[in-house]
A and B are shown apart, each in its own frame.
Chain A
Amino acid sequence: MKKTRILKLMCACCIFVITTLSASSCTTVKAYQKAKLNDAEMTLGNRKVEKTELSFQSYREGASGANAGKSGGGCGCN
């Protein structure tokens, strides 16, 4: 029950943050206004340094994919 509560809380926080911030409207951002969006930390993909982390998680857990761990290939047996 504890894990479900933690998960629900985290999901609620994520949804709250996304919806609250989205509520400030979806505006067209010009190229010259993208300084913050172009920051290396703002990338929506995984960074190189996370590659081996994602690899071990896809071995040690039953779920993978959707921009977090590869969907096939390799073994996963070690």
Chain B
Amino acid sequence: MKRIFLSALGILSLIQLHAQSASDSSGYKSKKLTLDEVNLVSSYYNQTGNNAAVTGGIGSEKLNDISNIIDVKFIRYDKKNRRHILDAALGIDHYTSASSDLIDLKANSSASHADTRIYPDISYSVENETKGTTIGAGLSASSEFDYKSFGGNITVAKKTNDKNGEFTAKVQVYLDKVSLVLPVELRPVTSGRENNYPTTARNTYAASLSYSQIINQNLQVAFFADFIQQQGYLSLPFHRVYFKDGSVHQENLPNTRSKLPLAVRANYFLGDNIILKAYYRFYTDNWGLTAHTANIEMPVKITPFFSVSPFYRFYTQTAIKYFGKYQTQSATNVYHSSNYDLSAFNSNFLGAGFKFNPLKGVFGLKHFNSLEIRYGHYAKNNQMNANIISLNIKYK
């Protein structure tokens, strides 16, 4: 945690030396692309549990993950007073996983016990404040040892005439490559290099629609609908499934999956110091999984420069049709999985965030706009538990 904080502070200090502000108090709008905001998000996540999919639904799920994301936003205004926004982010995750280590059951701290994921993304949008329109496009990538992903998206948005409502449509495509890293006992005997795994495709196509509406000076709501279609290799090759007869197999799931999440969000400013934020999502897909998510958060402004935000999230889902526990499935099932993330469970996520945004900047540093720390405890009713602590430093 100390290392995360110090590295974040170091990066922001360097930026402070070189950057110039995109706007000033006179309201001048820069015609050049100028730095508007830098966000650094760091988090530490750990989990425990005893239903690892790598070992067929039994065994340790112990996992630790450290994430660092730097997000830089530039803004410029053109001759027609349209706002151009360039947003670039780079994320790096490093994790250690007890179950991944057991792709080779005889290994102890094998190569698969840890991995690093790098995920850059960039987006560009143009907002016409007069017409109330926004168009944008983005590219993203993600790379780890056994998985590569490349994504693209296009967004269009239009505000209502009174500027109190906005309709947004977004299409996204992800073209992924999964390396076929099998459990070691299921690998064919070959004379090739061990790290030269074949790959297969997994593609995701998503259309997202949303509509936000200001109801009055204190309340705004938004409705969201996604239509997601996945095709290709949707199993994970190193997930084991143990049949009733004790034989071991790879997880096998259908090659297509259609998902439909629908959600509503409402934010209400109660009085002068309290905000109520509510979110509800219904989700269904053609694998038989139905889920409900309800989230409530209540930021309380203790002072104008310090707020506390307790939150609670409840989640419940049914199992996919192909799920079975350790040694409960048989060869008559074409599709089978012992991944408990796709089983029936409910979970509770509870925590709080603390945000500091002093007028003169955090620690008196003018551009060090805000510091936010957030902690949450997550518990499933199948004994999986996790903790996450996140830190967001904003430079503006």
Instruction: Name A's B-contacting residues (CB within 8 A).
Output: 3-4, 6-7, 10-11, 14, 17-18, 21-22, 24-29, 31, 33-34, 36-37, 39-44, 47-53, 55-57, 59-68, 71-75, 77-78
Contacts and interface: CB of A to CB of B under 8 A. Distances in A.
A44 B283 contact: no
| A-B complex: 10 closest residue pairs judged by Cβ atoms | A72-B204, A66-B261, A72-B174, A63-B283, A66-B263, A63-B291, A49-B392, A52-B43, A75-B147, A65-B261
Given A18-B221, A22-B219, A52-B390, A63 B281 contact: yes
Contacts of A63: 259, 261, 281, 283, 285, 289, 291, 293, 315, 317
Interface in B261-309: 261-269, 275-281, 283, 285, 289, 291-296, 299, 307, 309
Contacts of A26: 213, 215-216
Given A44-B267, A60-B384, A72-B151, A77 B236 contact: yes
Contact of A33 (B217, B220, B268): B217
Contacts of B380: 60
Nearest to A56: B45
Interface stretch (B10-18, B65-73, B75-83, B186-194): B65-73
B228 interface: yes
A76 to B, nearest CB: 8
A66 B260 CA distance: 9
B164 A28 contact: yes
B146 A65 contact: no
Interface string B99-123: 0100000000000000101010000
12 contacts: A17-B276, A18-B266, A26-B213, A49-B353, A49-B392, A52-B67, A63-B293, A63-B317, A64-B259, A65-B208, A66-B226, A75-B117
Contact of A56 (B218, B222, B296, B388): B388
A26 B216 CA distance: 6
A56 B265 CA distance: 21
A39 B307 CA distance: 12
A48 B267 contact: no
B342 interface: yes
Given A26-B215, A60-B384, A62-B320, A7 B294 contact: yes
A49 B390 CA distance: 6
A27 B214 CA distance: 8
Contacts, number: 237
A35 B309 CA distance: 20
Interface string B198-233: 000000101010101111111111101110101000
Contacts of B23: none
Nearest to A10: B294
B388 A36 contact: no
Given A68-B281, A72-B204, A61 B317 contact: yes
A27 B296 CA distance: 25
B172 A78 contact: no
Contact of B228 (A14, A49, A53, A72): A72
Given A3-B346, A17-B268, A71 B386 contact: no
Contacts of A77: 100, 146-147, 236, 238
Contacts of A73: 140, 142, 149, 151, 174, 176, 204
Contacts of A21: 215-216, 218-219, 266, 268
Given A53-B390, A65-B206, A11 B269 contact: no
A14 B356 CA distance: 29
Contacts of A11: 280, 292, 294
B217 A34 contact: yes
A17 B74 CA distance: 38
Contacts of B278: 14, 17-18
A61 B140 CA distance: 23
Interface string B322-366: 000000000000000000011000110100010001000000000
B204 A71 contact: yes
B74 to A, nearest CB: 16
Nearest to B209: A66
Contact of B220 (A42, A55, A61): A42
A61 B45 CA distance: 16
A42 B221 CA distance: 10
B142 A10 contact: no
